[in-house]
Amino acid sequence: MTVEDRQESDRPAVAAVAATTDRAATSPDGFAAPAFQRRSFATYAALDLGTNNCRLLIARPAQHGFRVVDAFSRIVRLGEGLSASGRLCEGAMERAVEALKICKSKMDHRGVTRARLITTEACRSAANGVDFVQRVGREAELELEIVDQRTEASLAVTGCAALAAPEANAVIVFDIGGGSTEIVWLGGRETGRDPASRIREWASLPIGVVSVAERYGGVEVGRDLFERMVTDCSAALKPFADKAAAARNAPGFHLLGTSGTVTTVAGIHLRLPRYDRRQVDGLWMREADVLSVIDELVAMDYAQRQANACIGRDRADLVLAGCAIFEAIRRAFPSPMVRIADRGLREGILLRMMHEDRAWWRRRQ
């Protein structure tokens, strides 16, 4: 079992995703939930096939959001070698198809009634991305949708916006992926209930944990190499940082991160003997705590990173690339606090579908 598999198994079989330390009386997408809600037997599935991971979430509507009934996550490294060749390689496609077949089995077993299955940067940029999507249809009997960058950013924000501090007039939300990083300047809640309507600026940066690690190497990473990685990531971030500079001075400003990188940093900070989503999702970390963990990771050798329960063998060569992107964002948008989200694209997909179906509205008499 990989670290990613263990992370998913930490989700209770039926868990209220809306549960946060804020206990806000809204659904996680920011839409106000009515006091009384009709029971729904619809079962929804959201699948995110990224450059590094294949993730599935199956859920049903619940009082203030939804309740997870099944989940799956596996590292498939679909984007392996993509930055050099411009194409998805055969081994990566085979790994992804096998994971998708498992997802199809879970969806059939749970009686999914509506699904949205997306794939992101790897298929967007690969010359054979469309061919791969057609192969998935034949071999795994699933219809993948290649989403554009704006859609990806919007869904990520929808999935984790409930964790933004209610009093914050500006939040920088970021999702560090395998092939790209989505980053958004999110306005305050007074500008609207729908998180997508609160987006002031957004960008999809051509840096992700896989692409950065392949460029610099992820095994032997000392302080000098790490700083070069941060410098290059900062250069990619600069156009967005210039456009969103005003966010830094807004009352209540803070960072909100969602990705395997930030949840790993949180798990190491908490000294978890085993990754536990319940302790990580919604955690507030101080700037000094983030810096301490990154310094600790840079000081580790590859074997030590592999042995860490919150990293594991499958991600030991990627975690410092992710930390370099995280550090570039943190330097561009200094904030005393960062909130950690173990939720994102899949949750955003589920919330959008349920909102479109009016799953939380009381049936009119």
Structure confidence at residue 218 (pLDDT): 86
Structure confidence at residue 3 (pLDDT): 37
Res. 15: pLDDT tops 50: no
Region 180-193: mean pLDDT is 88
Angle between helices 149-160 and 345-356 in degrees, nearest 10: 90
Structure confidence at residue 8 (pLDDT): 52
The angle at the Cα of 39, spanning 362 to 71, to the nearest 5 degrees, equals: 125
The band of 360, judged by pLDDT with boundaries at 50, 70 and 90, is confident
Length of the chain counted residue by residue: 365
Contact between 161 and 195 (Cβ < 8 Å): yes
The pair of three-digit structure tokens given for residue 364, joined into one six-digit string: 């009119």
Report the range of poorest mean pLDDT among 41-55, 121-135, 350-364: 350-364
Region 216-243: mean pLDDT is 95
List pLDDT tens digits, range 289-341: 999 999 999 999 999 999 999 998 889 999 999 999 999 999 999 999 999 99
C-alpha to C-alpha distance for 193 and 164, rounded to whole angstroms: 12
Region 40-44: mean pLDDT is 82
Region 11-29: mean pLDDT is 38
Region 195-213: mean pLDDT is 93
- Select from 292, 272, 305, 275 the least CA-distant residue to 338: 292
C-alpha to C-alpha distance for 205 and 337, rounded to whole angstroms: 23
Res. 24: pLDDT tops 80: no
Structure confidence at residue 12 (pLDDT): 38
Quick count: other Cβ atoms within 10 Å of Cβ 296?
Answer: 14
DSSP 9: H
Res. 131: pLDDT tops 90: yes
Region 227-233: mean pLDDT is 97
Structure confidence at residue 174 (pLDDT): 97
Report the range of poorest mean pLDDT among 20-29, 156-165, 250-259: 20-29
C-alpha to C-alpha distance for 186 and 197, rounded to whole angstroms: 9
